[in-house]
């Protein structure tokens, strides 16, 4: 089959490097370990089916009588690569499997029993101890709750529970499911207390703490979280600087206005938008369904960006957003107006506007929504223009 195969099918877009690739492959093939050819034949059978020669011909040439189209060259080569990977894994199973950005590979939880390649990777045959698996991800699972009432029980943690079962087995999953449900119920009981000095409240807080500790003890052997603070002692530049973001009464009026503007069935989305996006009523835009279906009423008493404010460069003293005010405390318009960012470790004495700047002026922002960066950037930029330009240079 290989002798009669059109080289263009394997070559794809390779041009100048093709001859080198052939020589390199011949060298590796000659030095390949014993039985690898046999493993590869078995892997081809697993990938394409049996009889192997017939199925390979069908994949390359198709069958007009049976109305079976040939595979695209890229698809065919991809399946050959899967077969080679399967042969390699079966010949030499791994000791450790590391999946970086694991959220992109969640399908392996469902497909590992049906896909021979995943089976060989995670549960190799004839091994008493399977490979160790390390999953790296900032967001390994997604909470499915949309509102307080829907977060009851373990429904909101379905993806987390699947992940726990994958890592620790069904028994740990079932115990975690019970503990999460009990812990959630206890938190709701605590939130329902109107009297903060109630003895019953203190007892429920203690019970919640016990459930939390049991959950932590159950999951710590298979799950951990690394915070940037853990490296602060060794590298002061990497230390987290916590900012006070105290809300003001107008912040809550902005939230109330957003809630009342959203459609009834989408009001639960107001809280995450309000806590993440400055000036959400003006910043979200039509790509957000809740904003698109909202009916915004006039709110003359709320601080907002208007055409007149923009044209007159009339920036307010503070914007009605606690996090933006905290950001302004470390990135003031005066500092942002400097046309050059000083290096983190300057190698000569700085003067002028840079002389009194003691903190690192570089900032890295993480946001939950795409609307956050442009909103923050626009308001900070407007503050710089209002600080530096004459009032008649707006617009």
Which of these three, 225, 257, 272, is where a domain ends?
A: 225
Q: At 371, is the secondary structure helix, strand, or coil?
A: coil
Question: What was the pLDDT predicted at 136?
Answer: 86
| 72: containing domain | 1-92
State the maximum Cα–Cα separation within the chain, in Å, rounded to a whole number.
Answer: 85
Q: Which of 57, 92, 127 is the endpoint of a domain? A: 92
Question: What residues in the chain have per-residue pLDDT under 50?
Answer: 145-155
Place of tokens 């950005």: 101
- Claim to verify: residue 160 and residue 209 sit in the same structural domain: yes
Q: Return phi, psi of residue 227, to 5°.
A: -100, 155
**Do 186 and 77 have their domain in common?**
no
Kindly state whether residue 172 falls inside one of the protein's structural domains.
Answer: yes
In the prediction, which pLDDT does 284 show?
Answer: 93
Q: Are residues 256 and 369 in the same domain?
A: yes
Are residues 325 and 217 both part of a single domain?
no
Q: Is the dihedral of CA 57, 62, 65, 68 positive or negative?
A: positive
- Within this chain, do residues 164 and 59 fall inside the same structural domain, yes or no? no
Q: How far apart are CA 345 and CA 347, in angstroms?
A: 6
Residues 286 and 380 in one domain: yes
Q: What pLDDT was estimated at residue 210? A: 94
pLDDT tens string 344-365: 676 778 787 777 665 565 777 8
Smallest CA-to-CA distance from 320 within 244, 252, 372 is with: 252
Q: How far is CA 56 from the centre of its chain?
A: 39
Q: What pLDDT does residue 110 have?
A: 73
* C-alpha radius of gyration, the chain, whole number: 30
Of 391, 390, 326, nearest to 363 (Cα)?
326
Shared domain for 255 and 389, answered yes or no, is: yes
Eight-state DSSP code of residue 222: T
Residues 310 and 380 in one domain: yes
Cα distance between residue 16 and residue 10, in whole Å:
14
Indicate whether 115 belongs to any domain.
Answer: no
Q: Which residues contact residue 139 at a Cβ distance below 8 angstroms, ignoring those fewer than 6 apart?
A: 103
Q: For the purposes of burial, counting CB atoms within 10 Å of the CB of 44, is it exposed (0-12), middle (13-18) or buried (19 or more)?
A: buried
My answer on whether 289 and 343 are in the same domain is yes
Report residue 3 as tokens.
């002798």
Q: What gap in Å lies between CA 117 and CA 122, rounded to an integer? A: 9
Work out how many domains the chain is built from and give that number: 3
pLDDT of residue 239: 62
Instruction: Determine, yes or no, domain membership for 85.
Output: yes
Residue 238, pLDDT score: 58
Domain assignment present for 114: no
In a domain, 136, yes or no: no
8-state DSSP, 137: -
Has residue 234 been placed in a domain? Answer: no
Task: Number of helices (H) and strands (E) in the chain: give both, helices first.
Answer: 18, 2
Query: 262 and 389 share a domain?
Result: yes
User: Could you tell me if 275 and 360 lie in one domain?
Assistant: yes
- For 160, the token pair is 């987390």
Please tell me the pTM assigned to this model: 0.55
211 and 257 part of one domain: no
Q: Cα–Cα distance between 285 and 277 in angstroms, integer?
A: 11
* pLDDT score of 151: 45
Residue 230 domain-assigned? no
pLDDT in tens, 11-65: 888 888 888 988 998 898 888 888 888 899 999 999 999 999 999 999 999 999 9
- Residue 103 lies inside a defined structural domain of this protein: no
């Amino acid at each position: 089959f290989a002798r009669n195969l059109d080289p263009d099918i394997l070559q794809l877009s390779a041009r100048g490097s093709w001859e080198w690739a052939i020589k390199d492959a011949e060298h590796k093939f000659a030095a390949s370990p014993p039985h690898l050819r046999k493993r590869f034949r078995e892997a081809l059978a697993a990938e394409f089916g049996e009889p192997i020669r017939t199925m390979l011909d069908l994949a390359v040439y198709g069958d007009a009588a049976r109305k079976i189209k040939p595979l695209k060259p890229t698809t065919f080569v991809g399946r050959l690569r899967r077969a080679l990977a399967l042969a390699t894994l079966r010949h030499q199973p791994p000791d450790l499997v590391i999946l970086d950005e694991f959220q992109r590979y969640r399908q392996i939880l469902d497909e590992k029993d049906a896909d021979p390649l995943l089976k060989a990777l995670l549960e190799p045959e004839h091994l008493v101890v399977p490979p160790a698996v390390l999953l790296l991800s900032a967001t390994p699972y997604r909470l499915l709750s949309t509102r307080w009432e829907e977060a009851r029980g373990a429904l909101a943690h379905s993806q987390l529970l699947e992940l726990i079962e994958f890592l620790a087995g069904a028994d740990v999953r079932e115990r975690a499911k019970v503990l999460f449900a009990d812990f959630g119920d206890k938190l709701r009981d605590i939130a329902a207390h109107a009297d903060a000095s109630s003895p019953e409240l203190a007892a429920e807080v203690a019970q919640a703490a016990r459930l939390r500790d049991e959950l932590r003890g159950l999951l710590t052997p298979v799950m951990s979280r690394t915070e940037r603070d853990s490296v602060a002692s060794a590298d002061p530049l990497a230390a987290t600087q916590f900012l006070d973001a105290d809300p003001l009464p107008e912040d809550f009026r902005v939230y109330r206005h957003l809630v009342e503007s959203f459609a009834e069935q989408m009001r639960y989305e107001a809280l995450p938008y309000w806590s993440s996006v400055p000036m959400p009523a003006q910043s979200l835009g039509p790509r957000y369904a809740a904003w698109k279906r909202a009916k915004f009423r006039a709110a003359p008493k709320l601080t907002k960006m208007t055409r007149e404010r923009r044209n007159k460069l009339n920036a307010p003293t503070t914007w009605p957003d606690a996090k933006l005010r905290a950001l302004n405390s470390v990135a003031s318009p005066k500092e942002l107006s400097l046309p050059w960012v000083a290096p983190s470790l300057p190698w000569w004495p700085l003067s002028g506007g840079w002389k009194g700047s003691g903190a690192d002026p570089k900032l890295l922002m993480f946001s939950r929504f795409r609307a956050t960066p442009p909103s923050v950037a626009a308001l900070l930029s407007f503050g710089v223009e209002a600080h530096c330009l004459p009032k008649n240079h707006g617009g």
